[in-house]
A and B are shown apart, each in its own frame.
Chain A
Amino acid sequence: MIEIRNLTKKYGQFLALDNVSFDVKKGEIMGFLGPNGAGKSTTMNILTGYIPCTSGTVKVGGFEIMENPKEVKSQIGYLPEIPPLYGDMTVDEYLKFIFELKSVPLNQRKRQMDDILYLVKIGDMKKRLIKNLSKGYRQRVGFAQALVGNPPVLVLDEPTVGLDPSQIVEIRKLISSLRHDHTIILSTHILSEVNAVCSSVVMVNHGRIAAKGSVSDFTASEGSVNKFIISVVGNKNAIQKTISEVSGVRNVTFLRVDKDAALFNVESSRNVDVRRPLFNELARASLPVIELRPVGRSMEEIFIDIVNNDKYVSETAGNERGEED
């Protein structure tokens, strides 16, 4: 659906995007990650036709943005970081204005309007002036704007920033519900959001792609080991000895003491589930297990890794980095 190839953008001498390439398949929700100033907004601004690129190509639904801007723009609904709203219009008037601006056929407007108002839950606010709405509602009106014309592609730039927790959950639900008939690019800083709604991830840093792949590739534990944290009551040395004798356990490291329990980091081969034998052996030795939890790499850890160490190469997601390092 979206094909970005060798996208480069220079602002004077400053290289904002350096040879960025990625695809977003139809029906995919792509999480677009990266620290501030990494080039996320620049990429989205080029994709939506707001600014031109220095070189490279952007194709949406087979059309190139510089060659057929009108065709590309009519396929994209864009919610910028600051929702583009006119405070002096009511929600109703504003959306009608957008329908006209996007030249949506007259006979589709009424039904689409009803659908959108229902979907983003702003039906009650129809007659209110936008400047009098709360931030959460403004964000929803901005969202509604992006949905006008039922574009197959949605580009959402940090849609949940500044919302309260329940609003965040609602907007995420909304995004998830749109996945069936839309291709979505979702830029965000909130990494749990990526876990919650996205199917694939592209990470950028310093204007370059730092990593890309599916969400499960990213969050799965690294390499060929399963990791657990186990918390056991009893003598530290006895516990360590018992755990290390369980077959399948590769490595045990003591972490710390928490009240009367000791915490250990346990690693096992990926294809062996050591949790049951671990529990049984410790119980036999009268060392009660009070907690056992698997450790996967969180999005946060991966993100910070990439930001701190630009040499990061995603093992599981396949090496998509260029040769610039």
Chain B
Amino acid sequence: MGTIYKREMNAYFRSPVAYTIIALFMLMVGLFFWVRNLLYASTDFSGALSMTSTYLTFLMPTLTMKLLSDERRNGTEVLLRTSPTPMWKVVVGKYLAALTLYGIMVALTAIYPIVMTFLSETGIPVGKTFGGYVGFFLLGATYLAISLFASSFTESQVVAAISGIVALLVLYYMQSIGATIGGTFGSILQWLSPLKRYSDFSLGGFNIASLVFYLTFSGMMVFLSVLNVERRRWQ
């Protein structure tokens, strides 16, 4: 697992992809910091994160699009499958690499609340900011797992990215769709929506059930990716 993880981390930072995504991400965070914190004279950074979270729908699939699809296109899948390393380690290693890169991106944004801590007279709302960060990270982790799953279906990076984005958009609107439908089915949709739980976090409520929800959801998606990769071998 560590072998694959290291390789993927190197691959990220050796291509312009990681830098471009980080730059784009930081640009957005900076913009929303300006809108939510500077213009409103607020020290609550979770609002800026919340605005950024919408765009994770588009960013996360770009981090995972090549992870599984490229191995197939390159012919390197043969290498992984014929090596004594089992495929689940390969898939999990790749997921952890994407998660680390995302973690680095999230960590970089900490500069804003840190600066605000020193510059504001009132200080920052620690609980809300912390909750916002935890929710933001968990939401991204779930998105990554979903788009990794999308990448396991195809050998084209573009198809992987687009299907990842579509899947995430469906999830994104699930909450509002659920609310519109109403009734039991509507509540189920809302309950399943990762976004709904994220708003709980960014309001400062640290909910163990939601934490379990995110971890289970991500785990399921990674597991399904492994199954999908294994399934194709039998075709």
Contact = CB atoms under 8 A, between A and B. Distances in A.
A78 B78 contact: yes
Nearest to B71: A84
A48 B15 CA distance: 32
B142 to A, nearest CB: 28
Contacts of A84: 74-79
B78 A80 contact: yes
Contacts of B76: 84-86
A196 interface: no
Interface residues of A, number: 28
A299 to B, nearest CB: 28
A321 B76 CA distance: 36
B215 to A, nearest CB: 28
Main secondary structure of the interface of A (DSSP, over half): loop
Interface stretch (A99-107, A238-246, A277-285, A304-312): A99-107
B188 interface: no
Interface string B1-32: 01100110011001100000000000000000
Nearest to B85: A101
Contacts of A87: 74
A97 B10 CA distance: 11
A50 B78 contact: yes
Contacts of B15: 88
A78 B2 CA distance: 23
Given A80-B75, A86-B11, A88-B15, A50 B81 contact: yes
Interface stretch (A68-76, A158-166, A254-262): A68-76
Contact of A86 (B2, B7, B83, B86): B7
B3 A100 contact: yes
Contacts of A52: 233-234
B85 A76 contact: no
A88 B79 contact: no
12 contacts: A48-B78, A51-B233, A73-B82, A88-B11, A88-B15, A98-B79, A98-B83, A101-B80, A102-B83, A102-B85, A103-B84, A103-B85
Interface of B: 2-3, 6-7, 10-11, 14-15, 74-86, 233-234
